[in-house]
């Protein structure tokens, strides 16, 4: 056996890990005696995910494959037998911790693929009992370590020198051990404190065998169970690709740097630095970050950090990952999300990343709009765009079914939205109608479900989708893409009428988004409104302006007449035209919208004033102003004629053919909008 290298070690006081109890777990017998000498040709075949190469590699190893499959079935079956017998003899409560420990040990023995499943379950307090949750959480970074000798050998093979010649210091033992590797705390000779992650031995072989078995089962299930419409093979290929990328630490380093470039500028987000000189395929050296798991609420509270706020930061970051840039962290379990001492959310472990294509991102945004708008026909078409339904699917029976499902899930308002409730309701629908889950969606679901699981642990009433709506509102108002402009138009207009309440809701939610620039939104809105593409909106907006200005002027004139009559002591018989409930609500919405704009951070009305000269030169502005002025004049003339005709009909002298002395024509009073409509208040 190779002698253990002697390295300067960090003191216990300096070795505060990301997980201080990293090694407090029952010992699991893992045989590493044969893993160090894996044949080179076998290793080369399994370095990247190639389903055909993997199938060819294992197709001739019938005994190895069947031995592994039977071992999995036997171990899981034996554990389930214990669960059944506990229920049968009413000892479930007494043995629950014992069964939870058995499950954690079982998943550990079964290897990395099954550990990933356990990690996903460890974030779901709404699905897993507390004792199981406590044990499964240990799978995040408290797995049994492999020998230091193996780790040191990998460091030497990857970095070209012995560890003691590369690092100034290295912790005596790994401080955390996860599914694919274990982490040492070290110090570079230049003084930086680093985390050194070393991959587990024989990883490609073990994961390759499990992926082959699971993919073969997926092929068999798709061929034999017609009720399974989702392409399980494509889903397995997507998952397999991500896991194989995770086994290449060079790829993980590039992922970390790309993540930093895209999201590191967001408020209270922190991404550690990668040290490329000390990084290879099986060894990754990155900046050491001290932090506390988001699930350790007592310790976070003791540091004066608001865990709920950090969850909101994580939700906003995830929205930008999924809907803005499309490059997202597909494994955000508590071991990979830390609260730093200065109150920032630290992202770790960038091995499992995935991407959402632009048309998928816009499709998801449109689906949220249609969901909030309860436009289930639009939502059904979104499912076609997102590849949940084939283009030739008859949507006629699906539209009312979606309405029934989502009306139950939505509740009274967007504040009731809950990702789990929606996915639970939708899962039943997918069995009844020809839905299929596209491969790319599997990792999105995993990411969102994991994040919501962490959020529920922090606050059982936390609603991920409710917190997401301000970002969606901001994107709808500020994104110039044709897809979202169409969604915005559909949201704001119904049957040719402008829905002021929707605009008010969007503006109110959008102003809560940290990077919302109201002046930029106003600039983009004006540019779009007075462009050729904005003609439809201009026509509808002109009609709404005429309605509201006319209503406001009538209201002002009526109030002035009553005030003057009261001042002169004269009773007026002029009937006051009642304001419809719809018009009254619209006026209230307009006033609140103006108030929201004035309260929005960064709003500057002078920017609008400065743009007026340029706008007045646009032919579209002249056409709009002429249309509004013409419609107002037509309404005023029509109203005057109605009053004159009504006056003639009620005048006895006129009815007897006698002419009456013409009334003195008084100048028409100058009109102005009420104070609430002006920006100079």
Catalytic residue chosen out of the listed positions 331, 349, 375, 382 = 331
The Cα 647–Cα 352 span in angstroms is 80
The Cα 265–Cα 251 span in angstroms is 22
Give the total residue count for the chain: 681
Do 550 and 632 meet the contact criterion of CB atoms below 8 Å apart?
A: yes
Q: Are strands 292-293 and 167-170 parallel, antiparallel or unpaired?
A: unpaired
The Cα 16–Cα 140 span in angstroms is 17
The Cα 655–Cα 645 span in angstroms is 12
Sign of the CA dihedral 239, 244, 247, 253?
Answer: negative
The Cα 62–Cα 320 span in angstroms is 46
What residues contact residue 427 under an 8 Å CB cut-off, 6+ apart? Answer: none
For residue 328, the cross-strand partners are 354
Q: Which of 288, 369, 382, 354 is nearest to 16 (CA)?
A: 288
| Tokens standing for residue 137 | 């959480």
The Cα 212–Cα 56 span in angstroms is 10
What are the backbone angles phi and psi of residue 327, rounded to the nearest 5°? -100, 110
Burial bucket for residue 142 (CB in 10 Å: 0-12, 13-18, 19+): buried
The Cα 409–Cα 419 span in angstroms is 9
Is 517 one of the catalytic residues?
A: no
Do 212 and 35 meet the contact criterion of CB atoms below 8 Å apart?
A: no
**Sheet with 345-347: strands ordered across:** 269-270, 345-347, 337-339, 292-293
| Tokens standing for residue 215 | 């993919």
Q: Which of 271, 266, 236, 237 is nearest to 254 (CA)?
A: 271
| Tokens standing for residue 485 | 């402009």
Coil, helix or strand for 286?
strand
| CA 450 to each of CA 28, 180, 646: distance values in angstroms, whole numbers, following the listed order | 27, 19, 70
Q: Which of 156, 211, 166 is nearest to 187 (CA)?
A: 166
Instruction: Check residue 256 and report its DSSP letter.
Output: H
Catalytic residue numbers read 331
């Amino acid at each position: 056996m190779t002698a253990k290298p002697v390295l300067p070690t960090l003191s216990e006081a300096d070795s505060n890990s990301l997980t201080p109890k990293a090694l407090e777990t029952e010992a699991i017998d893992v045989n590493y005696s044969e893993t160090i000498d894996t044949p080179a040709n076998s290793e080369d075949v399994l370095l990247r995910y190639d389903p055909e190469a993997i199938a060819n590699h294992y197709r001739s190893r019938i005994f190895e494959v069947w031995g592994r499959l039977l071992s999995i079935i036997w171990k899981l079956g034996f554990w389930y037998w214990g669960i059944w017998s506990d229920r049968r003899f009413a000892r479930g409560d007494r043995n629950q911790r014992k069964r939870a420990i058995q499950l954690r040990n079982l998943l550990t023995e079964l290897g990395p693929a099954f550990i990933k499943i356990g990690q996903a379950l460890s974030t779901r307090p709404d699905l897993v009992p507390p004792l199981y949750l406590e044990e499964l959480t240990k799978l995040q970074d408290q797995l049994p370590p492999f020998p230091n000798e193996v780790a040191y050998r990998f460091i030497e093979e990857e970095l070209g020198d012995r560890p003691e010649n590369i690092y100034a210091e290295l912790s005596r033992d790994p401080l955390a051990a996860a599914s694919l590797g274990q982490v040492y705390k070290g110090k570079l000779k230049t003084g930086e404190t680093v985390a050194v992650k070393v991959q587990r031995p024989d990883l490609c072989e073990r994961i390759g065998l499990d992926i082959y078995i699971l993919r073969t089962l997926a092929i068999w299930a798709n061929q034999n169970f017609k009720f399974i419409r989702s392409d399980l093979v494509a889903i397995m290929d997507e998952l397999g690709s991500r896991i194989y990328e995770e086994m290449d630490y060079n790829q993980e380093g590039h992922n970390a740097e790309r993540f930093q470039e895209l999201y590191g500028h967001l408020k209270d987000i922190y991404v550690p630095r990668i040290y490329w000189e000390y990084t290879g395929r099986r060894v990754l050296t990155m900046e050491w970050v001290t932090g506390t798991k988001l699930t350790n609420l007592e310790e976070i509270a003791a540091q004066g950090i608001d865990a709920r706020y950090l969850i909101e930061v994580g939700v906003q970051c995830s929205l930008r990952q999924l809907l803005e840039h499309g490059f997202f962290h597909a494994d955000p379990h508590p071991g990979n999300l830390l609260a730093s001492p200065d109150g920032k959310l630290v992202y770790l472990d960038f091995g499992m990343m995935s991407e959402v294509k632009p048309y998928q991102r816009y499709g998801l945004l449109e689906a949220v709009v249609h969901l909030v708008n309860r436009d289930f026909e639009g939502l059904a078409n979104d499912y076609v765009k997102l590849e949940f339904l084939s283009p030739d699917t008859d949507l006629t029976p699906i539209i009312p079914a979606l309405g029934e499902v989502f009306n139950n899930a939505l509740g009274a308002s967007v504040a009731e939205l809950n990702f789990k409730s929606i996915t639970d309701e939708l899962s039943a629908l997918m069995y009844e109608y020809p839905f299929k889950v596209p491969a790319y969606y599997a990792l999105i679901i995993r990411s969102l479900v994991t994040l919501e699981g962490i959020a529920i642990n922090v606050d059982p009433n936390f609603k991920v989708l409710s917190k997401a709506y301000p970002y969606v509102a901001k994107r709808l108002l500020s994104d110039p893409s044709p897809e979202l402009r169409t969604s915005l138009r559909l949201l704001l207009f119904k049957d040719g009428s402008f829905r002021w309440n929707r605009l008010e809701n969007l503006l109110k939610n959008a102003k809560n988004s940290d990077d919302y620039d109201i002046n930029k939104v106003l600039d983009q809105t004006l540019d779009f409104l007075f462009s050729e593409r904005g003609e439809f909106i201009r026509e509808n907006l002109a009609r709404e302006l005429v309605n509201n200005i006319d209503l406001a002027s009538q209201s002002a004139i009526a109030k002035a007449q009553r005030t003057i009559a009261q001042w002169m002591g004269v009773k007026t018989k002029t009937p006051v035209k009642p304001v419809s409930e719809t018009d009254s609500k619209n006026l209230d919405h307009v006033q609140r919208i103006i108030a929201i704009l004035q309260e929005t951070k960064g709003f500057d009305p002078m920017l609008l004033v400065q743009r007026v000269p340029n706008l007045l030169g646009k032919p579209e502005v002249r056409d709009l102003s002429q249309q509004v002025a013409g419609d107002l004049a037509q309404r005023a003339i029509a109203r005057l004629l109605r009053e004159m005709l009504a006056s003639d009909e009620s005048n006895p002298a006129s009815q007897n053919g006698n002419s009456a002395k013409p009334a003195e024509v008084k100048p028409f009073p100058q009109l102005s909008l009420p104070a609430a409509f002006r920006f100079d208040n």
